Structure 1
Amino acid sequence: MDKTQLPATRDLVLIGGGHTHALLLRKWGMAPLPGARLTLVNPAPTTPYSGMLPGYLAGHYRRDSLEIDLVRLARFAGARLILGPAESIDLAGGHVKVPGRPDVAFDVLSIDIGVTSDLPDLPGFAEHAVAAKPLAPFARAWSRYLQRSGPASVAVIGGGIAGAEIALALSHALQARGRRPRVHLLERHSILSGLNAGQASGLRAALQAADIEVHEQTEAARIDAEGVLTNRGRIEAGFVCAAAGARAQPWLARSGLSTTEGFLDITPDLRCSDPRVFAAGDCAHLVETPRPKAGVYAVRQAPVLFENLRATLAGQGALRRYRPQGDYLKLISLGRKSAIGGRFGLSVSGPWVWRWKDRIDRRFMERFHALPAMPAPDLPRHHSAGMVEALGNKPLCGGCGAKLGQSVLAQATGPGGLPGDDAAILTIGGDTTVMSTDHLREMVRDPVTMARIAAHHALGDILAMGAQPVSATATVILPRLSPELASRTLAELMQAARAVLAEAGAEIVGGHSSQGSELTVGFTLLGRCTHRPITLAGAQPGDRLILTKPLGSGVVMAAEMAGEAPGADVAEALELMTQSQLRAATLLAAARAMTDVTGFGLLGHLRNICLNSGTGARIRLNRVPLMPGALALAERGVHSSLLAENRLAFPDLPRDPAHDLLLDPQTAGGLLAAVPETAGLIEALRAAGYRAAEIGEVTAASGRIEVV
């Protein structure tokens, strides 16, 4: 039986994209457990590899070199990815709470959220300093400071290995820019505890050679705009960061699970006090065999966690024990391309140790940058002619990229006539009502995100007519699931859809559901017009063309389905697709013609305005806003499966990436409006949060669209 058609019966939820979970996702992609639905919850689309952090800060690596792309990894593993921080666990109800969305139900849960170096109780820290973990805010703050000119002063709070590495890295980066840095390393006890004598001596020598001022027995009491006030006086610093040891995420202590100093207590099989919950990495405390917080333990826990999660989901009793090693190889960066290494009391140092560390780190990251290509199922030996051509050489796009093209629709609906408006105009009891229907096949595995995108997508047709959404019916096809998982999924999906539609003023009054091969979500909407609807037919020569959202969702999501899109770009595209167009429609109420840009691409929908209005149009190519990463992907030859069909209406359009994006099918795209006056309009749209632009004008050349 085809494994993809087997019903999912158990929910495995992973909280955090730490090293253990990242390796687990890679293994899961190569050997998934049939019937288990996998979910990853993480605040960001990427997670940093801490082993390369000092090298990045020193300027030896690009940021993307140390980022594990969780979007690509989740797609490879067949997991849904929820971008948001877990803030608590409801053990009794079996739910994870993530702000801004329905609770995430679990049957089995695993936690790998690392640690923080934040100092929330230190006065002035939040306003004038930054923690070394998590990386994103630290990297932003450091980048801003690094771009300054003139002398520099830095204070690093925490004199352990991490603090020393960071101090050396920051000093090296500033010296490379000619900033003549003064760098301070503060420790309330003695620095470099936990190292053998050789390593400690070598690291102290490196700190001295870099002119880093070490302040031992020095405790920070307050931070202000000028630096750090300590128990031994003031230290002037323009940049203050903390690497003061590993601190547990505060919500773990409130989880109802057993903890030690805030870290989750785990048994040798990596289970917490609740047998449904596992934990790994730095957020966990091995009760029987305590170990320091180090990435090597997280890496070696991955295969044990993988086997034990599978066994628990399958209802098997025996679990594998994790046995941590007594000592491990420590490789410590010295700012410049040199390092110290040590194990079993021995110590070595020099540039060759850096090269050794660099090879180890790059080899680890290569496991995520070059995910193994899983073979596609073979075609049956005997099949009908045309099968290979119909399948194509890339996955069928989701969202609007999966729709039929205009030429296919024209043949099915009969020749002649103009393209219809976005919604049907009805007169009921003297009131003007507009009605539209739309649905999307799965483009992301999270039902909540799909519901939000589909609702915004369907609302676009009503808003483009200048109508007020009133009511909706939902049509949902769920993939094969057990009754319990089907109930969970439908509840999450409908809760998300109701919230989007209610914000626009519409209520879901009914619908229909069924099960099929994949998730499909659609809505039929009714809207009320208190004035004449805005149609495709009102544009006049001289009108300005305004677009409220950038283009590129088709190419970005096509790349995501193929595992080729950078996670940060995918996250940006999803955010844009779930942006409400309600405020934009209100600001564009004076438009003479308006449509929403969806499956036919910008030029296809503009062509519909021109044909109905008896006009032409001129588009300024360099004014058309694009989503981050869209042009780079198009230049690599990535495109939606609907692009070729969209091009049929524009045979003379240049065949290059920039022009391809004008035909890129959009999902929940922006509004395209022809307006007689733009004074203050773009500014108002941008103030409302839209990346709007004036991209061209309406001309008198009937039916002709010029791109300049």
Structure 2
Amino acid sequence: MQALPPVRDLVLIGGGHAHALVLRQWGMRPLAGVRVTVVDPNPVAPYTGMLPGHIAGHYAREEMMIDLVRLARHAGARVILDRAVGIDRQARRVLLAGRPPIAYDLASIDIGIASGLPGVPGAAEHAVAAKPLGAYAERWAAFVARRLPRPRIVVVGGGAGGVELAMASAHRLRGEGAEPEVTVLESGPAALPGLGDGARRALLGRLERMGIRLLTGTTAERIEVDGVVLDGNRRLPADFVLSVAGAQPQGWLAGTGLQLHDGFIVVGPTLRSSDPAIFAAGDCAHLAHAPRPKAGVFAVREAPVLFHNLQAALAGGRMHAYRPQRDYLKLISCGGRAAVADKFGLRLEGAWLWRWKDRIDRAFMEKFRDYPGMAVAPPSRMAEGLDEILSGQPLCGGCGAKLAAGGLEVALAEVPAPRRPDVVSGPGDDAAVLRSGSGLQVLTTDHLRAFTQDARLMASIAALHALGDVWAMGAAPQVALAQVILPRMAPRMQAGMLSEVMASAAEVFSAAGADVVGGHSSVGAELTIGFTVTGLAERVIGKGGARPGDVLILTRPLGSGTILAAEMAGRPVPGLLLGEVVAGCLAQMQRPGGAAAQLLSTAARAMTDVTGFGLAGHLLEMLAASGCAARLRLDAVPLLPGAEALAAAGHASSLAPANRAAAAPRMDLPEGARAALLFDPQTAGGFLAAVPAEAAEALLARLQASGDPAARIGELVEGRPWISVSA
């Protein structure tokens, strides 16, 4: 059944625990007519409960990360990987750091807190804040990898979080064979405020037994590259300074005009702020009706109420009230596999408490491993052959939705040869070539079925993809016409999406030296974006012209089709955070290729862009046009991070089997995931060029110096069109 058109926009600002649980629930109980967007600068979000265990070495990084990209796919939400920096409440727009604002009808904020030292000189440059957690985990991993024999750690903040992370740090470093010196600084008269006497005594005893020094009534006055200057001008040497100095609100909230308490958003029992169109949850919110300390347990328990109330606000209905518990069980890990519990002033400690905490944390993260699918019942009766199509892999987006080479060759065989004298070449090359005055004009068209709901991002990639054919011919882009199919939605949302597409495309073409001069739009089942592009050249570089002895240069790594197919499938892959793999892939696809093509065009005898038919298919086109063969070194072919692991796990684009069927009969090919990626369809892929051997090294050096991960992947040899691939 066709999806119902959206008429309202819900924007979730931040990927905190409450929002993660809302997205999980939304995937199981969506509200028809709502477009959900999650905005976060990172594709993954850390779970706070596992952070000390990760620092101590008990959990791998991927075990404590919630994959927001996979989660959004489950919820049917679009992801915008950017940082919110403000809200225009009058226009109902969320302001972003790296792109134009996005509209909302209803918004919710769950952006957590910071724990830095904003008033301490040198802290921003030389200290690490425990929150945001993701950056801290990365900095810590890099520090551990240095393997210092006597690392000196200073933790600024003697609350439960600081003490817990100090013990975790000491445990991890001792496990690595080091002899760490760990010091905890507490500005107050006593450490661990807010804990009961029993838990405090237990934790202080643990610190003493682990040799961790505790300095109370001590303030960090300045952070230097190799130490902390304390009050009284004392100096404490340090190799790693961690700030866990209390909860600080995100600074941009002050400019929203919302009612705040100490910088945090004031909400009532329904989690609604002073603006009825904005909700807030988690640590960034202040519960005016029942103030509580900043703790992840409240964000988790707010989630069901937030989910219900967001849907009630969008569809009409009675809202629920959130009533937080008066006290909650605090389980504080002690570096090793032991923990201390605090509730009602009792003292409990031991390995069994760590095992209990471990079960709680793993159970929470299990909610984000596998998501229940939405089964669609097949029709009771169907024509013969329909079941075969329905049982296949869902159609990929991007160049993975391209018609297979076999069907395309049959269709093109019916196209008559050009008769006009100003048509130099027609079908068969990357672009048609026309005579234009004393020079040449190239003409190409391309479109992509959307693989992301972010229309602005999709338009940017589609524009760069279309430009690839012009650049591959050695031409300078001239003009572009847009062809846009918009999905059904409320007229104002449709107009907004078209504006996003055209503005994003105009930026790309303008940067390439081309003008957008018009186009055509229509309404259809899904977002599809295409462009017809012209370019000008004194001479063009085709697929023919390569000679035996030429070197093959590939400017970009392969794997985008496999990565996008894996994201569509949404299944977890052990050892990988799919969201980070997808984010890396999208970043590459947004990189313009004009500069690389221009460098190659100074020496290339033949060139093409690597797109839908994969590296093998496009190389065979070059060989057929040039009348020679190629030797390819598989280990020299660059791959996107995560692509080989995904291929090994069985992920592949829906076009890959047809690409293999068309190319493999003309190849000597080893088996394995790496070889399979030679047939992977690329979207906004790199350029494949045949260059004289004597020019190859200098070209490679210039390409790599400009930021292109170009590689020499093989050479051309005498023979019929054939690819010999060595492992």
Q: TM-score range by the shorter chain?
A: over 0.9
Contact 1:102 1:496 in 2 (8 A): no
Which stretch has the larger CA shift, 46-55 or 394-403? 394-403
State the partner residue of 1:581.
593
Following TM superposition, by how much is the alpha carbon of 1:707 offset from its aligned partner in structure 2, in angstroms? 0.8
Contact 2:412 2:427 in 1 (8 A): no
State the partner residue of 1:262.
263
- Whether 2:389 is the aligned partner of 1:390: answer yes
State the partner residue of 2:306.
305
Structure 2 letter corresponding to 1:659? A
- Whether 2:646 is the aligned partner of 1:641: answer no
Following TM superposition, by how much is the alpha carbon of 1:654 offset from its aligned partner in structure 2, in angstroms? 4.0
CA distance in 1: counterparts of 2:121 and 2:148, whole angstroms: 28
Matches within 5 A, 1:551-562: 551-562=558-569
CA distance in 1: counterparts of 2:275 and 2:148, whole angstroms: 54
Structure 2 letter corresponding to 1:582? G
Encode CA deviations 1:132-174: one digit per residue, 9 max, x unaligned.
Answer: 1112322222222212231111000011111001000001011
Contact 1:5 1:480 in 2 (8 A): no
State the partner residue of 1:19.
17
CA distance in 1: counterparts of 2:613 and 2:10, whole angstroms: 38
Following TM superposition, by how much is the alpha carbon of 1:317 offset from its aligned partner in structure 2, in angstroms? 5.3
Contact 2:439 2:539 in 1 (8 A): no
Matches within 5 A, 1:661-672: 661-672=677-688
Encode CA deviations 1:247-305: one digit per residue, 9 max, x unaligned.
Answer: 10110111121111111111111111110000000000011211100011000110111
State the partner residue of 2:350.
350
CA distance in 1: counterparts of 2:428 and 2:580, whole angstroms: 37
Secondary structure at the aligned position of 1:476 is classed as strand
Structure 2 letter corresponding to 1:509? V
Report sequence identity in percent: 53
Structure 2 letter corresponding to 1:555? T
Contact 1:42 1:84 in 2 (8 A): yes
- Whether 2:241 is the aligned partner of 1:240: answer yes
Say which of 443, 446, 456 aligns to 2:454: 446
Following TM superposition, by how much is the alpha carbon of 1:374 offset from its aligned partner in structure 2, in angstroms? 2.5
State the partner residue of 1:484.
492
Secondary structure at the aligned position of 1:492 is classed as helix
Structure 2 letter corresponding to 1:636? A
Encode CA deviations 1:410-465: one digit per residue, 9 max, x unaligned.
Answer: 11222799971100001133431000000000111111111111011101000000
Matches within 5 A, 1:71-150: 71-147=69-145, 148-150=147-149
Structure 2 letter corresponding to 1:504? A
State the partner residue of 1:542.
549
- Whether 2:716 is the aligned partner of 1:698: answer yes
Say which of 496, 502, 506 aligns to 1:498: 506
CA distance in 2: counterparts of 1:171 and 1:647, whole angstroms: 53
Say which of 605, 611, 616 aligns to 1:603: 616
Following TM superposition, by how much is the alpha carbon of 1:681 offset from its aligned partner in structure 2, in angstroms? 1.5
Contact 2:171 2:336 in 1 (8 A): yes
Following TM superposition, by how much is the alpha carbon of 1:700 offset from its aligned partner in structure 2, in angstroms? 1.6
Secondary structure at the aligned position of 1:648 is classed as helix
Encode CA deviations 1:69-128: one digit per residue, 9 max, x unaligned.
Answer: 000000000000001111111111111111222211111000000001111221111221
Contact 2:370 2:571 in 1 (8 A): no
Structure 1 residues not aligned, in runs of 5+ = none
Secondary structure at the aligned position of 1:115 is classed as coil
Which stretch has the larger CA shift, 272-281 or 409-418? 409-418
CA distance in 1: counterparts of 2:557 and 2:179, whole angstroms: 43
- Whether 2:531 is the aligned partner of 1:523: answer yes
Structure 1 residues 239, 5: CA separation in 2 closer, same or farther (over 3 Å shift)? closer
CA distance in 1: counterparts of 2:140 and 2:529, whole angstroms: 43
State the partner residue of 2:51.
53
Contact 2:565 2:653 in 1 (8 A): yes
Contact 2:554 2:712 in 1 (8 A): yes
State the partner residue of 1:619.
632
State the partner residue of 2:283.
282
CA distance in 2: counterparts of 1:601 and 1:468, whole angstroms: 24
Structure 2 letter corresponding to 1:569? V
Say which of 674, 685, 699 aligns to 2:703: 685
Instruction: Give the count of matched residue pairs.
Output: 703
State the partner residue of 1:214.
214
Structure 2 letter corresponding to 1:547? L
CA distance in 2: counterparts of 1:512 and 1:392, whole angstroms: 35
Contact 2:558 2:639 in 1 (8 A): yes
Encode CA deviations 1:553-597: one digit per residue, 9 max, x unaligned.
Answer: 010000000103611100001111111001101111221111000
Secondary structure at the aligned position of 2:367 is classed as helix
Contact 1:94 1:107 in 2 (8 A): yes
- Whether 2:337 is the aligned partner of 1:319: answer no
Structure 2 letter corresponding to 1:206? R
TM-score (norm 2): 0.95
Matches within 5 A, 1:429-444: 429-444=437-452
Structure 2 letter corresponding to 1:658? R
Which stretch has the larger CA shift, 161-170 or 656-665? 656-665
CA distance in 2: counterparts of 1:140 and 1:102, whole angstroms: 29
State the partner residue of 2:421.
none
Contact 1:419 1:608 in 2 (8 A): no
Contact 1:399 1:440 in 2 (8 A): yes
CA distance in 2: counterparts of 1:211 and 1:494, whole angstroms: 62
Secondary structure at the aligned position of 1:662 is classed as helix
CA distance in 2: counterparts of 1:683 and 1:71, whole angstroms: 35
Matches within 5 A, 1:152-163: 152-163=151-162
State the partner residue of 2:423.
none
Structure 2 letter corresponding to 1:642? L
Which stretch has the larger CA shift, 30-39 or 344-353? 344-353
Following TM superposition, by how much is the alpha carbon of 1:367 offset from its aligned partner in structure 2, in angstroms? 0.2
TM-score (norm 1): 0.98
Structure 2 letter corresponding to 1:243? V
Encode CA deviations 1:626-681: one digit per residue, 9 max, x unaligned.
Answer: 01111111111111111111112213544432211001000110011111111322
State the partner residue of 2:539.
532
Contact 1:102 1:495 in 2 (8 A): no
CA distance in 2: counterparts of 1:12 and 1:226, whole angstroms: 46
Secondary structure at the aligned position of 1:522 is classed as strand
Secondary structure at the aligned position of 2:272 is classed as coil
Encode CA deviations 1:32-57: one digit per residue, 9 max, x unaligned.
Answer: 10000000000100000000100000
- Whether 2:641 is the aligned partner of 1:628: answer yes
Contact 2:23 2:75 in 1 (8 A): yes
CA distance in 1: counterparts of 2:74 and 2:564, whole angstroms: 14
Contact 2:45 2:134 in 1 (8 A): no
Contact 2:83 2:98 in 1 (8 A): no
Matches within 5 A, 1:178-257: 178-189=177-188, 190-232=190-232, 233-257=234-258
Contact 1:394 1:562 in 2 (8 A): no
Structure 1 letter corresponding to 2:715? E
Structure 2 letter corresponding to 1:661? L
CA distance in 2: counterparts of 1:393 and 1:345, whole angstroms: 60
Structure 1 letter corresponding to 2:339? A
Following TM superposition, by how much is the alpha carbon of 1:30 offset from its aligned partner in structure 2, in angstroms? 0.3
CA distance in 1: counterparts of 2:142 and 2:436, whole angstroms: 59
